[in-house]
Amino acid sequence: MNHKGNITDTVSGYGILECDVCGFKHLHPIPDQKVLDEFYRTQYYDTHKPSYIEEDQRDRLFWEIAYEDRIRMFEKYAPGKNLLDIGCGSGEFMSYAVKKGWSCIGIEPSDSAAEHGRKNNLDILNTTFNDFIRNNNRKFDVIHLKNVLEHVLNPIEIIEECYRILVKGGILYAEVPNDYEFTQRLGVFLLREKKSWLAIPDHINYFNFRSLKKLMRRNGFKISAQATTFPIYALLLLGYNFIRHKAKGRSAHNIRIKFEIFLYRNHLNPVRRLFYKVLSGLGLGRTVILYCKKTTDLC
Interior angle at CA 66, CA 277 and CA 149, nearest 5: 80
Write the pLDDT tens digit of every residue in 131-158. Answer: 999 988 899 999 999 999 999 998 999 9
Q: Mean per-residue pLDDT for 192-216?
A: 94
Q: How confident is the model at residue 31 (pLDDT cuts 50, 70, 90)?
A: confident
Pairing relation of β-strands 103-107 and 124-125?
parallel
The DSSP bridge partners found for residue 177 are 287
Determine the pLDDT at residue 33: 73
Q: Mean per-residue pLDDT for 112-127?
A: 93
The rounded distance, in Å, linking the Cα atoms of 51 and 60 is: 14
The rounded distance, in Å, linking the Cα atoms of 236 and 256 is: 13
Positive or negative: CA dihedral 66, 106, 226, 153: positive
Determine the pLDDT at residue 203: 92
Q: Mean per-residue pLDDT for 99-124?
A: 94
The rounded distance, in Å, linking the Cα atoms of 127 and 288 is: 26
The rounded distance, in Å, linking the Cα atoms of 15 and 88 is: 29
Q: Which domains does the chain have, with CATH numbers?
A: 33-294 (3.40.50.150)
The DSSP bridge partners found for residue 5 are 19
Q: Mean per-residue pLDDT for 199-215?
A: 94
Determine the pLDDT at residue 57: 73
The DSSP bridge partners found for residue 142 are 83, 171
202 vs 281: which has the higher pLDDT: 281
Q: Mean per-residue pLDDT for 104-118?
A: 92
Q: In the chain, what percentage of residues exceed pLDDT 90? A: 78
Determine the pLDDT at residue 135: 86
Determine the pLDDT at residue 40: 66
Q: In the chain, what percentage of residues exceed pLDDT 70? A: 92
CA distances from 267 to 65, 263, 272 (A): 12, 6, 10
Determine the pLDDT at residue 299: 45
Using an 8 Å Cβ cutoff, are 172 and 83 in contact?
no
Helix (H, G, I), strand (E, B) or coil at 36: helix
Write the pLDDT tens digit of every residue in 41-60. Answer: 666 655 555 566 677 678 99
Write the pLDDT tens digit of every residue in 60-70. Answer: 999 999 999 99
The DSSP 8-state label assigned to residue 285 in this structure reads: S
Q: Mean per-residue pLDDT for 225-237?
A: 96
At 145, which helix (H) or strand (E)?
Answer: strand 140-146
Q: Which of 235, 228, 216 is nearest to 283 (CA)?
A: 228
Give the mean pLDDT of the chain: 92
Residue 266 makes CB contacts below 8 A (sequence gap 6+) with none
